[in-house]
Amino acid sequence: MSGTSSTLRPPADAVAPVRHPDAPAPGELLGAHYEHCFGCGGGQAHGLHLAARAGEGVKITAEFTVSAAHQGAPGLAHGGVLASALDETLGSLNWLLRTIAVTGRLETDFVRPVPVDTVLHLEAEVTAVAGRKIYSTATGRIGGPEGPVAVRADALFIEVKVDHFIDNGRQEEIQAAMNDPDQIRRARAFEVNP
């Protein structure tokens, strides 16, 4: 991990993360937090459709298949799309803490090209918590979960209240999410930064 930025280095008083007792069980598929999320929602034709699973402790694994719509250079994933996959994976960690948080900083290293039709195998974990700040790290591998590292990132998430989304989101989507009759979907729509 890059780890050179002081904003991504936990302070001396940071504590180890604690998995919430109501977090999804290890191995459980997390599913989309919001149908129209570019990262995990099924309602985005060219979205990532990233599928994340809870791991042990405060870790998750995820998979994302690079499609032709995700190209930058011919036949290769766009770097911004890969950064989005890392951000979505890192943001999903907050489900294990049962904390609403948004990305404050994301530092990404692009190690090797990721071809179209490749499955990117992602692993992420929360490394420390300091007040409202949540520090985490992720890697993306190609060729399988033990394959060579293609991308990696360190991130800082900031815990926020649901008002962050209500006050700043486009009102049509906010109202639609808040009016969803499914109480679980309604709550999950605001769990992570979409």
C-alpha distances out from residue 22 to 12, 118, 125, Å: 28, 34, 18
**Taking a C-beta distance cutoff of 8 angstroms, is the pair 38, 47 a contact?**
yes
Give me the pLDDT at residue 48, please. 82
Residues 6+ apart with CB under 8 A from 90: 103, 106, 124, 136, 137, 138, 153, 155, 157
Q: Which two tokens stand for residue 77?
A: 């994933």
Nearest Cα neighbor of 191 from 96, 127, 113, 124 is 96
**Taking a C-beta distance cutoff of 8 angstroms, is the pair 106, 8 a contact?**
no
**Taking a C-beta distance cutoff of 8 angstroms, is the pair 70, 88 a contact?**
no
- List the chain pLDDT tens, one digit each, 194 residues: 444 455 689 999 999 999 999 999 999 998 877 777 777 777 778 888 889 999 999 999 999 999 999 999 999 999 999 999 999 999 999 989 988 899 999 999 999 999 999 999 999 999 999 999 999 999 999 999 999 999 999 999 999 865 555 555 556 666 656 666 665 555 555 555 43
Domains in the chain, ordered, with CATH? 28-160 (3.10.129.10)
How many C-beta neighbours within 10 Å does residue 139 have?
Answer: 19
**CA dihedral over 55, 59, 65, 67, signed as positive or negative:** positive
Give me the pLDDT at residue 193, please. 42
**Taking a C-beta distance cutoff of 8 angstroms, is the pair 51, 121 a contact?**
no
Give me the pLDDT at residue 3, please. 43
Q: Which two tokens stand for residue 157?
A: 């998430």
**pTM for the predicted model, two decimal places:** 0.82
> What own/partner pairs with CB < 8 Å and gap ≥ 24 does 169-173 have?
173/36
